[in-house]
Structure 1
């Protein structure tokens, strides 16, 4: 993701196109969830802009994606997998306790705070998440195929599924972290990807698993259970012998984990930008261009709003060079 510079440091910013054709994606739900959640292992929103497209400013995670870490030729140590997975479980348990189902858990959506092995992780990307009641079921077919739970593939938009789908995805992530390859893949010539998942048929390559403990393997198997009613919940997974007891889990964040969602103050919005009419021309600045200038140039939001208000109807015909000069 591109970086956004502010007086408080660098942040990530995510561009979401207004006319996204994915029926499972909901920008309003993502923003609502990001504003409400407060957990050390869930990404924090810093700001949100709405113009021609949507811009979400997030805290910077310098270690990149977990996907990049597990894709390296040298596999992660089991102790490192354990630390990361423990944090993932805490984060997903927090979401479930607050009626939120992620629905797209995968290594690409787990960010690392640094390049150090013993670092904080944060789950991100709530574009396909769902806010549910205690007994609600979902029916939308969404998520990344390799990480989809059997009941999602079997539902086809008719039968319902629950928060247990996240626990299946966590099992797939743990599998990949421990051995470096996915349990289900499209290169299988005997079964389709859907049949592999719905039957729960995956293969352990002995040479890739010979250094993995039996307790770690047991946790994987208990998460990759086809019947969601028999699959471990996040609470049960946290009590699994593989995660008990280790001193590193006493307080890995050095902060108190808040058990409930707390309201956040409203985010600053560039109303002056989003409310301006758009005029296109060879030298004019579009709404998206203004947003990009603000984000990439590290320009304070308050100054941007004041300058645009002063320019009023003239800013649409201001060249990018002139606008950058005025904003700085």
Structure 2
């Protein structure tokens, strides 16, 4: 076990090495005490961590982080994950101000394939955000992988999730409208994907507490977001159209992952060819880490959510204000 490379509501992620091979991995250490506190308000019968880990270990997709091992000690759970040297999508967006559209398209296509696979296997992520999208390397063309299934639930045939969870900025309207007391479907992930695509293309979040005129909850439940001309002038109309079709308040009218993959913006054979090559490349090339200091933050949890969301939005404030003056 080596240095800490990330932190969350229930624990931290550490860099580690397999003794026999010196292979680098990431180990997520979850405090059992903090985990019990975070799940105590769940309205559904709890699923044991080891059962959920076993199910997730069976998932096999190039754009979903691979769980390599799992250990259960007296005080903590240890989840051994493949290491992604490129860090989080969040840091890539903040460092670059925003992604170039071809890069955003390459990353988003892979995200859609991963989430489609999850949904086909009865898993809803429920906490999709740039912090939970990892990059295989520091190069612009790289494989991306969805991670952090701490909020996900395995779905039975007739069950829908009723737990209010996730990061407020990325929560779907139907979750906020019912305060988590009514059932909701995998369409919540498609809303979150729409928010992620908005951030990647523009460099600022569509819903933010920085907008003092309308409370964050109302912005989301009413689908009120603002396109700042300076941030979107170089974004194509098809890309903008896909964002709008994902950020639809009514989940029945929102694009599914399958429909999103069929959208004109993603009918790019060259991009798909690159994506397939990256996804099939088992051994990723690993350039030296970025010299920029990563953005420091903790992930939101219960009462911390609003403060965390505000801090997250502040990362985009300078760029947003600059564009607003254009």
Please report the TM-score for the alignment, with normalisation by the length of structure 2: 0.75
8 Å Cα contact 1:33-1:126 kept in structure 2: no
Aligned equivalent of 2:54? 32
Structure 2: stretches of 5+ with no match in the other structure: 6-13, 281-326
Aligned equivalent of 2:10? none
Aligned equivalent of 2:38? 22
| 1:178 aligns with one of 196, 201, 206 | 201
| 1:84 aligns with one of 98, 107, 116 | 107
State the 1:250 CA deviation: 3.6
1:50-199 alignment runs, 5 A limit:
50-51=72-73, 52-199=75-222
Structure 1: stretches of 5+ with no match in the other structure: 258-328
Once the two structures are overlaid, the 10-residue window that deviates more, 234-243 or 51-60, is 51-60
8 Å Cα contact 2:143-2:278 kept in structure 1: no
Q: Deviations over 1:279-305 (max 9, x none)?
A: xxxxxxxxxxxxxxxxxxxxxxxxxxx
Higher Cα Rg, which structure: 1
CA shift in 2, pair 1:33/1:143, >3 Å: farther
Aligned equivalent of 1:13? 27
SS in structure 2 of the partner of residue 157 of structure 1 = coil
8 Å Cα contact 1:29-1:127 kept in structure 2: no
Distance 1:124 1:134 in 2: 24
8 Å Cα contact 1:29-1:130 kept in structure 2: no
CA shift in 2, pair 1:228/1:29, >3 Å: farther
1:208-247 alignment runs, 5 A limit:
208-247=231-270
Moved beyond 4 Å, runs of 4+ = none
SS in structure 1 of the partner of residue 32 of structure 2 = coil
Q: Deviations over 1:14-51 (max 9, x none)?
A: 11110222125963464134311100000001111111
State the 1:73 CA deviation: 4.5
Aligned equivalent of 2:15? 3
1:269-280 alignment runs, 5 A limit:
none
- How many residue pairs get matched? 257
Please report the TM-score for the alignment, with normalisation by the length of structure 1: 0.75
State the 1:204 CA deviation: 0.5
